[in-house]
Structure 1
Amino acid sequence: MLGFFFSNILSTIPAQTGDWGIMSAAIIITTNEILSKIIYKKNIIKPYNLIKIINNIKIGIIYGLFVDAFKLGS
């Protein structure tokens, strides 16, 4: 749920001026890919609860951005 709210923040605040759309998308994609690389890396010892929380927030952000895209497309 927290990731869904973050996605609303990420999609509305930079879009107020209209010229930050590409930059905010690039930052979101880069952050997502870096987190995925860290989360799914093999052979390292990780604190499982923290990784699970970060991954759930990441999934919520992706889901929220898809929902916003469908709202704009209809």
Structure 2
Amino acid sequence: MQNTRLTTLLNRTGDNLQQQLRNPWRRLALMMIALLFGIYLGAALASTAGQVGYIDIVASALVAIASEVLSAVFYGNRWNFQKTILGETLNAIKVGVLYGLFLIAFLLGS
């Protein structure tokens, strides 16, 4: 691949972002934002699936499958996904989605 100005700019931007996120406080802030975004996604998913009554089972099956696949990738030893920023962020979003779904279920009493 040629080393154009665009690829150089994108590489430097990615490197700068990784350098900034090595700071533990910034990484913690990113994980908290991802967790809160996951809670929001869980609540939005529950309310959207609840409005259209016939996709409840499909939506819950997709969430369960996505959660299990992400857990297998994150906690498996094959790709060492736990130490990457993307892996930690996706895991925080997954935990937030599941927490949001449990929160809505407890609020509705079902």
Assess same fold via TM > 0.5: yes
Q: What SS class does the counterpart of residue 36 from structure 1 fall into?
A: helix
Pair 1:25 & 2:60 matched:
yes
Relative contact order higher in (CA < 8 Å, ≥ 6 apart): 1
Shift of the 28–43 alpha-carbon distance from structure 1 to 2, 3 Å rule, reads: closer
Match of 1:39 in 2: 74
**Structure 2: runs of 5 or more not aligned:** 1-35
Shift of 1:15: 1.7
The structure number with the bigger radius of gyration is: 2
**Structure 1: runs of 5 or more not aligned:** none
Give aligned pairs, total: 74
Shift of 1:42: 0.7
Query: Aligned partners of 1:43 and 1:22: how far apart in 2?
Result: 31
Q: Which 4+ residue blocks in structure 1 deviate beyond 2 angstroms? A: 43-47
Deviations 1:4-37 (A, max 9, x none): 0000111011221211111100000000001001
- TM-score normalised by length of structure 2: 0.62
Q: Greater helix share, 1 or 2? A: 2
Query: Aligned partners of 1:45 and 1:17: how far apart in 2?
Result: 39
Contact 2:38–2:95 (Cα < 8 Å) also in 1: yes
